[in-house]
Structure 1
């Protein structure tokens, strides 16, 4: 699976109702190598979006943002598709226009934790017929990723911002105008 096919699968997922379940089932029907390729593309997108500026944007949007919340936020961002993902990574201020208005109306939070485990769940479903965690299956999946040359990225970020409302409002005026006083979190 190449990067274009990865993003095409994400795009197709967004036309379905049970998005992560659909994605896991589609992936499980592919070869183990294709599932591993998918996981590498997913991890690459997570790494590309692991920036101080995007974390600051998530902090404003959610009214605070822990490590886990930032992971779930990035899972949501990837699930939005390539165009939205790339726009937000390039300039997090774009999120002021990329998050649909109904998020406020329906009190939705831009987080998608389930997205983060789709590759492993698909591999597990293919191997065992089940998506439940299994250490042996995880080791097998991890070994396959290693064989493909995947190296996990070191998470550790130095913020170039502080939890200072004036600084955040000045740096991200559009995001602050929309979410600063009324965050989605």
Structure 2
């Protein structure tokens, strides 16, 4: 599967299925009908595109849109969301991240608090990261079979973001306005105190949902409690 075939599959998924969940199901079924080698090719193409989008320039744009809710994991999920928007958008945005401001999927989020965004609207697509591995395992019946196949090819799949372009302070308003003039207008960062309060409220809601104290939650993660 070359890059043209990869993008054709992405485009077909957009035509057949409206939401991210339905698209994942469609893509998973489509991949599972391909030879194992093509499934591995799909992962390689995805990795190549991820590396192209793995820049501080794009990370800063995602950080702006997400009002600071864009850790390394957040950016890791943002990248496949961008791939899912199709080839033309991907090429344009990786060349100039500020062009994200032109996209209807982004414009719909402007001036709305992130907590009001639906799951389908959220600019992240975590499940896309596992598509090829799950399709490969469906055919082989062996967990981790894709990893072994890629290893045999000498291909190393990235597992984290590692931008190589110069970094910059995503909290610097003047720098944001210079680098991302349109996005910084559509998505002005909330005050740090406001974001901290929002994050704390979300964390307390999670604790209540899980029926845990903060100490219990951190212990489950293997983090030592510091009173």
Whether the TM-score (by the shorter chain) exceeds 0.5 is: yes
Distance in structure 2 (CA, Å) of the matches to 1:70 and 1:77: 10
Stretches of 4+ aligned residues off by more than 6 angstroms? none
Equivalent residue pairs, number: 176
Distance in structure 2 (CA, Å) of the matches to 1:114 and 1:16: 18
Distance in structure 1 (CA, Å) of the matches to 2:9 and 2:24: 11
For structure 2, the residue ranges without an aligned partner over 5 or more in a row are 191-227
Question: Which secondary structure state, in structure 2, belongs to the residue aligned with residue 166 of structure 1?
Answer: helix
C-alpha RMSD of matched pairs (Å): 2.3
Question: Which secondary structure state, in structure 2, belongs to the residue aligned with residue 15 of structure 1?
Answer: helix
Question: Which secondary structure state, in structure 1, belongs to the residue aligned with residue 44 of structure 2?
Answer: helix
Distance in structure 2 (CA, Å) of the matches to 1:69 and 1:103: 16
Q: Does 1:171 align with 2:175?
A: no
Distance in structure 1 (CA, Å) of the matches to 2:9 and 2:185: 34
Distance in structure 1 (CA, Å) of the matches to 2:185 and 2:45: 34
Q: TM-score of the superposition, structure 2-length normalised? A: 0.71
Structure possessing the higher relative contact order (Cα contacts under 8 Å, 6 or more residues apart): 1
Distance in structure 1 (CA, Å) of the matches to 2:103 and 2:152: 37
Whether the 8 Å contact between 1:161 and 1:168 is mirrored in structure 2 is: no
- In the alignment, which of 108, 121, 125 is matched to residue 102 of structure 1? 108
Question: Which secondary structure state, in structure 2, belongs to the residue aligned with residue 180 of structure 1?
Answer: coil
Distance in structure 2 (CA, Å) of the matches to 1:59 and 1:75: 15
Aligned to 1:126: 139
Whether the 8 Å contact between 2:67 and 2:188 is mirrored in structure 1 is: yes
Q: Highest Rg: 1 or 2?
A: 2
Q: TM-score of the superposition, structure 1-length normalised? A: 0.86
For structure 1, the residue ranges without an aligned partner over 5 or more in a row are 129-135
Aligned to 1:47: 51
